[in-house]
């Protein structure tokens, strides 16, 4: 059975729960819940294993904090013998509006510390990632507060809709491949 490593990026601890920066955790939580799996604490990450349609999805939420995510990704890639093209990292993205997400087979870290850590540890930026648009609606100099802030009440319905669609996208990535999945999902525009 083909194995996939599905990595939700975020920070551990209740201070970060429900924040924009933790959307990666929220997406893999929704994926595990849909497949009736629960996360357990293991080395460098919380992990849930989903067996579905002849695939094994190893879902992780690194417990290393965002800036050291690469350590957890490398450990679980090696442990599960997952090829780079079967890794999918879910991450928050300031450069995309809340109405969008974007699947890519690789690319720059674009200032994201979690992606930068993964790139440094793996020695490549050629791993698939799902950039979950969070928008950039913050005053100058308040980027950190915005990213580490919680969703507003009027954003939440759209966020929940995108999380559900992200789960579908991950399933498509594992069953149909990245090219077909990009063609199907990258041009979606989410509105209520």
Say how many C-beta atoms besides its own lie within 10 A of residue 84's C-beta. Answer: 14
Would you please indicate which residues are annotated as catalytic (active-site) residues?
Answer: 21
Give the CB-side neighbour count of residue 117, counting CA atoms within 13 A.
Answer: 19
Strands (E), the chain: 2-8, 40-42, 45-52, 55-62, 87-93, 101-104, 129-133
Beta bridge partners of 41: 46
| Packing angle of the helix pair 156-176, 23-34 (nearest 10 deg) | 60
Place of tokens 């919680």: 150
Give the integer Cα–Cα distance in Å for 122 and 20. Answer: 25
């Amino acid at each position: 059975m083909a194995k996939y490593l599905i990595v939700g990026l975020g920070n551990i601890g209740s201070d970060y729960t429900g924040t924009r920066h933790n959307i990666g955790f929220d997406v893999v939580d929704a994926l595990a819940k849909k497949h009736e799996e629960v996360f357990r604490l293991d080395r460098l990450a919380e992990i849930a294993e989903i067996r579905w349609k002849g695939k094994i999805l190893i879902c992780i939420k690194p417990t290393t904090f965002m800036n050291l995510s690469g350590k957890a990704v490398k450990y679980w890639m090696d442990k599960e013998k997952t090829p780079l093209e079967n890794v999918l990292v879910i991450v928050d993205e300031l450069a995309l509006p809340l109405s969008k997400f974007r699947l890519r087979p690789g690319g720059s870290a674009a200032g994201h510390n979690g992606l930068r850590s993964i790139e440094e540890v793996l020695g490549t930026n050629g791993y698939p990632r799902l950039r979950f648009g969070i928008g950039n609606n913050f005053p100058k100099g308040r980027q950190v507060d915005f990213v580490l802030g919680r969703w507003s009440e009027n954003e939440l319905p759209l966020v929940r809709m995108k999380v559900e669609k992200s789960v579908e996208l991950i399933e498509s990535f594992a069953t149909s491949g990245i090219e077909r999945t990009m063609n199907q999902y990258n041009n979606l525009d989410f509105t209520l």
